[in-house]
Amino acid sequence: MTLQNQNLYDALQHVSTKASTLETYRELLERAERELANAKEKARKILEALPGEQLDQLVALPIEHGDTIIHLALDSEEGAVSIAVSQEPERRSLHDLMGEEEREAVRQRVDAADRARLAQQKANQEGATHG
């Protein structure tokens, strides 16, 4: 086998491996989707058996669990509950956008303000005990 053919063989073997991996992931995804649908159906049955007032409280706001947000909705005509699930998007704080020097300057200002506040509290306490 020449080097060119060996490279072609390796490339085609890589394609085959990736196609097989993709099929495995597709099957896993389909199974996970079925399991999610089953879990939603079980939750829906439990929710629909709850008293109306309790159900109204649950659908009022999204429910957060870890990085997942669960949105419940009630179809008032049919009395059916729908369940939508979304992942909380990744986010960062405004503080993370600052450079290290800017963050350090903010830390120093916060520390100085904390020290001044504590000193003022101590002075107020001493004034109250001596006054």
Tell me the β-bridge partners of 83: 72
Give the count of beta carbons closer than 10 Å to the beta carbon of residue 70: 15
46-95 pLDDT, tens digit per residue, is 999 999 899 989 999 999 998 899 999 988 777 789 999 998 777 777 77
92-131 pLDDT, tens digit per residue, is 777 777 788 888 888 899 999 999 999 998 888 887 776 6
pTM for the predicted model, two decimal places: 0.59
Return d(Cα 43, Cα 33) in angstroms, integer. Answer: 15
28-50 pLDDT, tens digit per residue, is 999 999 999 999 999 999 999 99
